[in-house]
Amino acid sequence: MPVMFAIVERFRRVVETVQDYTLFTIETLRCCVGRPFYGREMMHQLHFALIGSLTIVLISAVVAGQALAIQLARELSNSGAKSQLGHFMVISVVRALGPVLTGMVVASRMSAGITAELGAMRSSDQIDALVAFGTDPIRRLVVPRTIALLIALPILTVLSDALAVIGGGFVGMQYHLSWEAYWIGALQFLTPKNVLVGMLKPFFFAILIVTTACWKGFRSEGGAKGVGVATTESVVIASVGILVTDVVCTRVLFRILGW
């Protein structure tokens, strides 16, 4: 019986946690419209998300794009289809690799930063102080970060996609594929539908990254150690969540597009 009780108790806690996160996310999205809106805080967060993440996102895109292009170019050359490199690069990067890679890199940076900051604010009573002064902490702290990342992540994804695909062209030249031939294949598959599949994902990833990070920060307990645990958990949840969301988005979008 104690084992059974422990299982039921564990299940109850999981359900409560999921419910708590879901309600937090719904409340965040509800607060994204209406007043008060903290524009200056949003601009500050946009700078942190966009400019602050730019370097690591671009480096990651160049490196991952090169690695993918080398793999593809070698196999396609062996099968006599190296002219298809641009086509495969666009499909792989724009639809899947670009959004996921950018999401993961931004998640590792933003999740940790947001959870640590909000966790520290919670443990030093700053969040309670906001409430005491009549401020809704979700509107003041979560909404500006959500909107900032909803703007920054798609932009970073476009830049990341562009760099990875351009890098593929240079790899193609090493395998004796002309720059023009590469781009003819690439642009042929840079269709609105492919772009749509790739560009919708960052919006879901942005909401996932910010809500998990803020939720973990708000719920952190136990001082510095608790903030550390919450930070680790938020990065893990956001990273795994991005992969799961990617699969779900891909399946749903493919069904909608009739692919």
Which residues form the interface with other proteins (CB under 8 A)? Answer: 36, 121, 124-126, 128-135
Question: Nearer Cβ to other proteins, position 35 or 255?
Answer: 35
Minimum CB separation of residue 146 from other proteins in Å reads 18
Minimum CB separation of residue 101 from other proteins in Å reads 30
Tokens encoding 240: 């795994």
Helices 192-219 and 223-257: angle between axes, nearest 10 degrees: 160
Question: Nearer Cβ to other proteins, position 133 or 259?
Answer: 133
Contact assessment for residue 157 and residue 65, using Cβ atoms and an 8 Å cutoff: no
What is the distance in angstroms between the CA of the first residue and the CA of the last residue of the chain?
Answer: 50
**Residue in 58, 59, 110, 65 with CA at minimum distance from that of residue 85:** 65
Question: Nearer Cβ to other proteins, position 28 or 245?
Answer: 28
Minimum CB separation of residue 16 from other proteins in Å reads 11
Minimum CB separation of residue 193 from other proteins in Å reads 43
Positive or negative torsion for Cα 95, 86, 151, 106: positive
Listing DSSP states for 223-239 in one string gives: HHHHHHHHHHHHHHHHH
Residues 24, 196: Cα–Cα separation, whole Å: 28
What's the distance, CA 140 to chain centroid? 22
Minimum CB separation of residue 219 from other proteins in Å reads 13
Question: Nearer Cβ to other proteins, position 43 or 252?
Answer: 43
Question: Nearer Cβ to other proteins, position 129 or 244?
Answer: 129
Question: Nearer Cβ to other proteins, position 2 or 134?
Answer: 134
Would you tell me how many other CB atoms lie within 10 Å of the CB of residue 173?
A: 14
Contact assessment for residue 131 and residue 137, using Cβ atoms and an 8 Å cutoff: yes
Question: Nearer Cβ to other proteins, position 19 or 174?
Answer: 19
What's the distance, CA 65 to chain centroid? 18
Contact assessment for residue 123 and residue 21, using Cβ atoms and an 8 Å cutoff: no
